[in-house]
Amino acid sequence: YRHSRGISMRVNGYNDKQVALLQRLLAVMQAMEFSEERFNNLRAERIRQIENKSAQRPASQIMGALREALNHSSWSDDQQVAALRNLTFGGVKSQAAAFWDSVNVEALLYGNYVDEDVVAVREALGSLVSDGSVELPALAVTNLDQDQRQQLTQELEHDDAVISWYIQGSDRSVQQQALFDLTGQALKSGFFQQLRTEQQLGYIASAFSWPQSRVPGLVMIIQSPSHSSLDVRDAIGTFLQAVPGDIDEAAFNRHRQALVAEINEPFKNLWERAEYLWQSLGEGDHTFSSKQDLADAVSQISYSDWLAFFKAQVLETHRSLLVVAPGKFDKHPAEPTEYKQPAEAKLANKRFAIEL
């Protein structure tokens, strides 16, 4: 599968023949022995998948636009389709042949393995890649301007209005991540109860912490068939203004305790633990301490600390991106800086360069 820095391949299940299977798979990947007809079929299928995204629910499309605006290893559907149409069978084979000279390899073996398996995998991978270390480009996440509210307006083929209000942290510290995670924990039940159940603004209403490559953030999203995006945005703003009065210290302590318990929840099986280890490697955490570090940081947040954070970095911040689909309604928000395409937001802002 594809990810932000390259390609991953995983083999799981009974371990008896896994190393032999991995060696076969690596040989197949290196040989690239498939027909031009199969290449054409795969390319056509991928183009169909991208073009069919318009059938997704609007909330999913809006979250996709937000993800594209923030992640510099993400491209628009039009860009991907154009690149796919320009691919040739010979060009892909040539690129694949040169691929192994331009990569670094990172591997994780977890479970019922012995030292001999590690050696065999290391040798199999080592035979594919060049001896020299390849310097990979840094990941990049859009660093939203702290002095201006920004908006990305998307015209979707759907009558429903959607608001996805993203508020970004100012740095990638574990303390910031803890504060945003705790805020997401504190908001989620009240957001759903008030805006969906009581006010019936839409059938999708959710608030949650949304880190991107450990850049912390908060997302509040509503999809509404009955209210304009402007009305929805204003309702979210009213909800946020009431939060400090609605969440007293006793409620805050319950939210903090629940989040710490969730972070510290034991892994249910070997697969879950392997997922955590692999994700940690992908984020540059070779000590695998991020989970405990986050739990400790959340535990140390006081009620007064959180209130000060909420006021400064949620209620008063301009470091935000409002992603809007107006739907059938005439009224919609108009922030001082507005974009029509996610790529415009990338170009207009600085970036977090993330070295792993």
Domain ranges across the chain: 2-126, 139-354
In terms of DSSP bridges, do strands 150-153 and 320-325 run parallel, antiparallel, or are they unpaired? Answer: parallel
CA proximity to 298, closest of 257, 246, 268, 254: 257
pLDDT at 34: 81
For the chain, list the strands marked E by DSSP.
Answer: 2-3, 6-7, 139-143, 150-153, 161-168, 204-209, 217-224, 320-325, 337-339, 350-354
Q: How crowded is the C-beta side of 233, counted as CA atoms within 13 Å? A: 21
CA proximity to 283, closest of 2, 1, 5: 5
pLDDT at 27: 83
- What's the predicted TM-score (pTM) here? 0.92
Task: Provide the 10 A C-beta neighbour count for residue 19.
Answer: 19
Please give the CATH superfamily to which domain 2-126 belongs.
Metalloenzyme, LuxS/M16 peptidase-like (3.30.830.10)
Q: How crowded is the C-beta side of 122, counted as CA atoms within 13 Å? A: 6
The yes-or-no answer to whether 2-126 and 139-354 have a common fold is yes
In terms of DSSP bridges, do strands 337-339 and 217-224 run parallel, antiparallel, or are they unpaired? Answer: unpaired
Both tokens of 326, joined, read: 């107006």
Q: Residues 232, 321, 314, CA angle at the centre, nearest 5°? A: 75
pLDDT at 134: 76
pLDDT at 236: 98
Q: What is the pLDDT of residues 302-329, one digit of tens each?
A: 999 999 999 999 999 999 999 999 999 9
Class of the 139-354 domain? alpha beta
Contact predicate 232/202, CB 8 Å: yes
pLDDT at 312: 96
Low-confidence ranges of the chain (pLDDT < 50): none
Cα Rg of the chain, angstroms: 23
pLDDT at 22: 87
Give 183's DSSP letter.
Answer: H
Q: How crowded is the C-beta side of 58, counted as CA atoms within 13 Å? A: 28
List % helix, strand, coil for the chain (3-state, nearest 5): 50, 15, 35
Q: Which phi and psi (to 5°) does residue 229 adopt?
A: -65, -30
pLDDT at 130: 66
pLDDT at 15: 84
CA proximity to 308, closest of 171, 170, 187, 179: 179
CA proximity to 230, closest of 159, 335, 120, 318: 335
